Chains A and B, each alone.
Chain A
Amino acid sequence: MERDDLIVNDSYAMAAHHSEEAGAAIRKKIWFVTALLTLITAVEVGMGVIFKRSETFTWTAIKWTFIVMTLVKAAYIVLVFMHLGDERSNLKRVIVAPYLLFISYLIFIAITEGFGHLDSFTTFH
């Protein structure tokens, strides 16, 4: 049996080929993203160590910073490493829309419900 994903759509896979020069540019971008992701992770760990959770206002700001940095990391992984940035815009939207919807929900829970943790912290200690 012929596999339709190999036979019928072969041209799309073939179209993804690129030249040596294009490859060099892509590799340069990959190393840039690597450095960026590593740097962000190091900063996150440093901030987690320095700032205290009991300082409600500061900690809320820190939490938002963590979330923004996470979204930056996620965006680079999806758009560059997973090449979604190079796909057609309708495919991009089909993938990114549900992701964004659910991530917003997760952030909402982490931020608004997360204050319960601080309340219980002050109540019990």
Chain B
Amino acid sequence: MAGNTETIPTSVLWGGGQSPFSVTYGKMMMWFFLVSDALTFGGLLTAYGFSRATSEDAWPIGEQVFRALPGLDGHYPLVYVALMTFLLIVSSVTMVLAVEAGHRNDKRGVIRWMAATIVGGFFFLGSQAWEWSHFIHGSGGGFQLAKEVTVTTDSGDAMTLPKGEMVFMDHHFGHLAEPWSEGDANTVLTSEDGHITLTQFGEHDHSAQLHSLTVNKYVENEQTISGDEAVKLWSARSDVFAFGANLEDSEYAAQQTYANFFFFITGFHGFHVFSGVIINIVIFLMALNGVFERRGHYEMVEKTGLYWHFVDLVWVFVFTFFYLI
């Protein structure tokens, strides 16, 4: 402000030199960044909560959607996500051990634990890539009913399914139903003695029979329907099929919102992990070249560590608010 020429005696002025927080500028700014970044993730998770609350369709639940393990059949609810959480926790631990080694000026310790952290980060990214791939491809896909059908489930209960209800196929049948529903000329549907078979002709012929179908696959009270009752459901299908999920289509729910939030929240987090790994590699190389040794302290490792732990912190919240609740 112009004209403000009053001289303030230096005895009452804060002369600087001593930080009120007693930390370096860089560390404080890292903390401030992490506070702001937390608000971004908090905004995403809150938006998820609102969308879920206002959704008119049943919302998929984590235990039903994320229950596959690579290379295994069967259901393992959230085991893979828990494994990813564990990976991130472990790589957080190796990071904090690197920071601790840095406080003792232990160059070898820093290098070793930073390397372990980088490996852990890549493992997490790889796991996330698999999870995305599985989510995008789905596990068999489903079709919508063209009319109301009453069927008997395998547990012996009669169940009336409304028009538009999603019915899910197993992954063998669904794998061939995808090209067939898209009009692939090499995939042929045959129906003999009440047995529905899809065959794909090619260098090696593949075929799959319709054994059973599933309803309520991604919500509670999942039911399997087999045999003639499954054929009844198959005959009542509309031409609306869905296989896995992308940004326009999703087998997981009648609305698209769930899939979109999955892609955005885990994608945004994965991007943080990716940049974290890159930063860790840079710091690792600097430690290797003795930059911090010459500087006399390893504070850069600590600052990087803050960012890396934050990524773990965010995942703890994503795990609870996206997958568990």
Contacts and interface: CB of A to CB of B under 8 A. Distances in A.
Interface of A: 4-6, 8-10, 12-14, 16-20, 23, 26-27, 30-31, 33-34, 37-38, 41-42, 44-45, 48-49, 52-54, 63, 66-67, 69-70, 73-74, 77-78, 80-83, 87-88, 90-91, 94-95, 98-99, 102-103, 105-106, 109-110, 113-117, 120-121, 124-125
Contact of A120 (B35, B56, B63, B79): B56
B321 A81 contact: no
Given A12-B22, A52-B220, A121-B219, 14 more contacts: A10-B296, A20-B104, A23-B103, A34-B89, A41-B82, A45-B81, A48-B324, A53-B61, A73-B316, A91-B31, A94-B21, A102-B39, A106-B45, A114-B53
A77 B78 contact: no
A88 B320 CA distance: 30
Nearest to A17: B103
A123 B276 CA distance: 44
B241 to A, nearest CB: 21
B93 interface: yes
Nearest to A113: B53
A116 B42 contact: no
28 contacts: A5-B24, A9-B19, A10-B297, A12-B22, A14-B296, A23-B103, A34-B89, A44-B319, A44-B320, A49-B77, A70-B316, A70-B319, A73-B316, A81-B93, A82-B305, A82-B310, A82-B313, A83-B99, A87-B23, A88-B23, A95-B35, A105-B46, A106-B45, A106-B49, A121-B59, A124-B56, A124-B57, A124-B58
Contact of B58 (A19, A45, A70, A121): A121
Q: Is the interface of B mostly helix, strand, loop or mixed?
A: helix
B35 A91 contact: no
A70 to B, nearest CB: 4
A70 B317 contact: yes
Contacts of A14: 296-297
Nearest to B310: A82
B4 interface: no
A16 B299 contact: yes
Contacts of B85: 41
B204 interface: no
Contacts of A121: 58-59, 219-220
Contacts of A42: 82
Interface string B24-45: 1111100100110011001001
Contacts of A124: 56-58
Contact of B59 (A30, A31, A117): A117
Interface in B272-290: none
Given A12-B23, A41-B82, A98-B39, A49 B31 contact: no
B220 A54 contact: yes
Given A77-B313, A113-B49, A12 B24 contact: yes
Given A77-B312, A113-B52, A34 B93 contact: yes
Contact of A17 (B27, B34, B104, B325): B104
B306 interface: yes
B131 interface: no
Contacts of A82: 305-306, 309-310, 313
Contacts of A6: 295
A103 B38 CA distance: 9
B216 interface: yes
B188 to A, nearest CB: 36
A9 B25 contact: yes
A125 B316 contact: no
B187 interface: no
Nearest to A42: B82
B90 to A, nearest CB: 7
